[in-house]
């Protein structure tokens, strides 16, 4: 088959590598240029690492990326939790690793998807805003939470957008801060938490999660995130957070207005299907975006490779993913509830990690 993949994020790249292995002809069409694909970092579980390494002949180097402690703290309690098999990795490192397994003919940038051309109910070509047209037998929408391809597949409904996140990297001079520990502080004021994770010997990725209803105007009105970090706001957290903020270039911080997709009715229509955040974007509290993106790509490729007919492959894929995505959505709702009203005892806290 000739397969056109729209979106060159982690799910799209993983699908491309998995599908080309079985002699399909693939092309990935990405809206942005590589250098814009900065993003920050994420936690990935070893099961996802295994999936990523199973795609090709090279292995992701995760030396010095392991995270095996989680410290949850509020004003009254500190809870140490041992976590197994988790790694923190920068988004750009994972993207570069996956891109290196595709050729220039297989990966095209600056291609913003516009619409499909149809023959009857079947899509025959994808048209891009730069004028390029790609014909194919199968079209995969891997274009993220704001997917355009999704409009051709299923109606999307979202949970109310309650939790936003600011993400940034703190960089220290000549300090080895890597202690393999993910720390998350819950503010005394409910509806805000601050987490930070080492991503190299001298860098932390940090995030401030806040209830949009309570704090949205603070960050949106000021527009400049650096001015929103007032001493009063910082006083909500332990002192070490002040140090982290001071070592961060807040101009490079990213306000992530996360969207949480409800379970779609359908993940495919005829020969157009969805993977990754386009199919099941969930709130960032679960840290499950990469794991879902990679496993949906692999499961789609496996279904295609093992079925005689495309439609039965897509139906197998859909059935499998719906089950898994329902579980992620369920867990995300628990975390959201917990975010707005943290349990009295940190021992009852549900871990902000899901895979």
Ligand X SMILES: Cc1cc2nc3c(=O)[nH]c(=O)nc-3n(C[C@H](O)[C@H](O)[C@H](O)COP(=O)(O)OP(=O)(O)OC[C@H]3O[C@@H](n4cnc5c(N)ncnc54)[C@H](O)[C@@H]3O)c2cc1C
- Positions touching ligand X (CB under 6 A) are 6-12, 29-32, 39-42, 91, 111-113, 142-144, 148, 167, 276-277, 284, 287, 289-290, 293
Q: Tell me whether residue 32 is exposed, middle or buried, using C-beta atoms within 10 angstroms of its C-beta: 0 to 12, 13 to 18, 19 or more.
A: middle
CA distances for 154 relative to 147, 151, 264, angstroms: 11, 6, 7
Q: CA 311 to CA 316: how far, in whole Å?
A: 9
Of all helices (H) and strands (E), which one includes residue 194?
A: strand 192-200
Q: Tell me whether residue 10 is exposed, middle or buried, using C-beta atoms within 10 angstroms of its C-beta: 0 to 12, 13 to 18, 19 or more.
A: buried
Nearest to 242 by CA among 316, 178, 185: 185
Q: CA 65 to CA 308: how far, in whole Å?
A: 41
Nearest to 108 by CA among 30, 172, 36: 30
Q: 291 Cβ partners below 8 Å, 6+ apart?
A: 44, 45, 47, 48, 354, 355
Q: CA 36 to CA 92: how far, in whole Å?
A: 10
CB atoms within 10 A of CB 81: 15
- The answer to whether the beta carbons of residues 92 and 39 sit under 8 Å apart is yes
Minimum distance from CB of 321 to ligand X (Å)? 12
CA distances for 236 relative to 74, 168, 207, 230, 233, angstroms: 10, 18, 15, 10, 6
Q: CA 64 to CA 266: how far, in whole Å?
A: 40
Structure-derived torsion over alpha carbons of residues 331, 352, 250, 34, reported in degrees to the nearest 10: -70
């Amino acid at each position: 088959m000739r397969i056109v993949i729209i979106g060159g994020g982690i799910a799209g790249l993983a699908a491309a590598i998995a599908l080309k292995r079985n002699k399909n002809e693939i092309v990935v069409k990405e809206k942005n240029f590589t250098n814009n694909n900065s993003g920050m970092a994420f936690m990935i579980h070893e099961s996802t690492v295994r999936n990523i390494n199973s795609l090709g002949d090279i292995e992701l180097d995760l030396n010095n990326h392991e995270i095996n402690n989680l410290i949850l703290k509020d004003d009254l309690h500190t809870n140490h939790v041992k976590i197994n098999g988790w790694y923190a990795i920068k988004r750009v490192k994972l993207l570069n690793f996956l891109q290196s397994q595709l050729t220039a003919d297989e990966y095209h940038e600056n291609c913003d998807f516009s619409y499909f051309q149809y023959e009857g109910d079947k899509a025959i070509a994808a048209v891009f805003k730069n004028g390029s047209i790609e014909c194919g037998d199968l079209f995969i929408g891997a274009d993220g939470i704001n997917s355009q391809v999704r409009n051709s597949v299923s109606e999307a409904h979202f949970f109310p957008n309650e939790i936003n996140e600011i993400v940034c990297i703190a960089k220290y001079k000549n300090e080895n801060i890597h202690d393999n520990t993910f720390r998350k502080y819950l503010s005394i004021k409910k509806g805000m938490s601050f987490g930070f994770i080492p991503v190299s010997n001298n860098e932390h990725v940090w995030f401030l999660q806040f209830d949009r209803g309570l704090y949205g105007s603070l960050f949106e009105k000021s527009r400049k995130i650096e001015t929103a970090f007032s001493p009063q706001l910082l006083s909500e957290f332990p002192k070490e957070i002040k140090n982290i903020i001071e070592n961060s270039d807040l101009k490079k911080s990213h306000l992530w207005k996360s969207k949480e997709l409800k379970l779609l009715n359908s993940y495919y229509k005829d020969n157009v299907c969805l993977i990754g955040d386009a199919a099941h974007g969930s709130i960032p509290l679960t840290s499950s975006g990469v794991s879902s993106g990679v496993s949906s790509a692999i499961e789609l490729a496996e279904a295609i490779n093992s079925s005689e007919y495309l439609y039965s492959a897509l139906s197998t894929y859909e059935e499998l993913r719906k089950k898994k995505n329902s579980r992620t959505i369920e867990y995300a709702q628990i975390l959201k509830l917990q975010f707005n009203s943290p349990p009295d005892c940190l021992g009852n806290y549900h871990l902000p990690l899901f895979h």
